[in-house]
């Protein structure tokens, strides 16, 4: 078998489309000949750095996005449901604390990206299904507990997430995505023949598969799964 193709997934849990891309790439991790690297990043920094405007701030885009997410939730088998106040959740509260928390988990490096995956999923579930906060320490703790972290681990991670080291690491990941050409998430970077190939959004998987020499088998490549 040829060597695995390295694929980086840049994401932020404030982005519902990132959740779709995240779940699909995690499902295909064992189907395609790839090495998936999760890259927790701060979407707010990418929007500012690229000069992009969030779709939620454009009325017609926001209306479309609400309907679109309902359809995508069923298609991808991901339990998406808009928060009661999307503007507050996405733009007033944001995700900086959450992404620093996830970055701290990755920095500790226990179990590879397994804990990063589980905690990220719980944070998405909180904001995009349960309509709950993801900014307060208690909210991050609850997500950590559901992801299988101990109280002592969570306490250490919350302290670490406020350190200069983690703040700089998240800034670095954000800048790396901008250097690739990011303007929003999810951003998938496939490394092919020493060159990065970028795919933006959660609707480029068929094209991505073609470019990396794999087959797109739909959103559930193994078998119909239970709701997340």
Which residues are tagged catalytic?
15
Beta-bridge partner residues of 201: none
- Can you say whether residue 161 is alpha, beta or left, with left for phi > 0 and alpha for psi between -120 and 50 degrees? alpha
Beta-bridge partner residues of 21: none
- Which helix (H) or strand (E) segment is 18 a member of? helix 16-28
User: How far is the C-alpha of 116 from the C-alpha of 15, rounded, in Å?
Assistant: 16
| 68 and 16 Cβ atoms separated by less than 8 Å | no
User: How far is the C-alpha of 74 from the C-alpha of 86, rounded, in Å?
Assistant: 20
User: How far is the C-alpha of 118 from the C-alpha of 143, rounded, in Å?
Assistant: 9
| 107 and 166 Cβ atoms separated by less than 8 Å | yes
User: How far is the C-alpha of 108 from the C-alpha of 157, rounded, in Å?
Assistant: 8
Between the two ends of the chain, the Cα-to-Cα distance in Å is 32
The pair of three-digit structure tokens given for residue 74, joined into one six-digit string: 């069923």
User: How far is the C-alpha of 150 from the C-alpha of 111, rounded, in Å?
Assistant: 14
């Amino acid at each position: 078998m040829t060597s695995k193709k390295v694929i980086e997934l840049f994401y932020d849990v404030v982005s519902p489309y990132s959740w779709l891309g995240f779940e699909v790439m995690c499902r295909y991790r064992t189907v395609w000949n790839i090495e998936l690297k999760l890259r927790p990043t701060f979407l707010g920094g990418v929007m500012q750095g690229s000069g992009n405007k969030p779709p939620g701030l454009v009325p017609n885009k926001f209306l479309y996005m609400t309907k679109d997410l309902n359809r995508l939730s069923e298609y991808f088998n991901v339990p998406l449901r808009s928060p009661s106040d999307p503007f507050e959740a996405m733009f007033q509260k944001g995700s900086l604390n959450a992404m620093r928390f996830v970055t701290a988990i990755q920095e500790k490096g226990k179990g590879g990206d397994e804990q990063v995956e589980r905690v990220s999923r719980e944070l998405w579930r909180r904001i995009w299904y349960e309509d709950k906060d993801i900014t307060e320490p208690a909210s991050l703790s609850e997500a950590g507990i559901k992801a299988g972290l101990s109280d002592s681990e969570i306490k250490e991670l919350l302290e670490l997430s406020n350190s200069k080291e983690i703040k700089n690491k998240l800034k670095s990941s954000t800048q790396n995505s901008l250097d690739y050409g990011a303007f929003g998430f999810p951003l998938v970077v496939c490394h092919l023949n020493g060159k990065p190939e970028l795919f933006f959004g959660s609707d480029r998987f068929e094209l991505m598969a073609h470019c990396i020499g794999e087959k797109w088998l739909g959103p559930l490549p193994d078998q119909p799964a239970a709701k997340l």
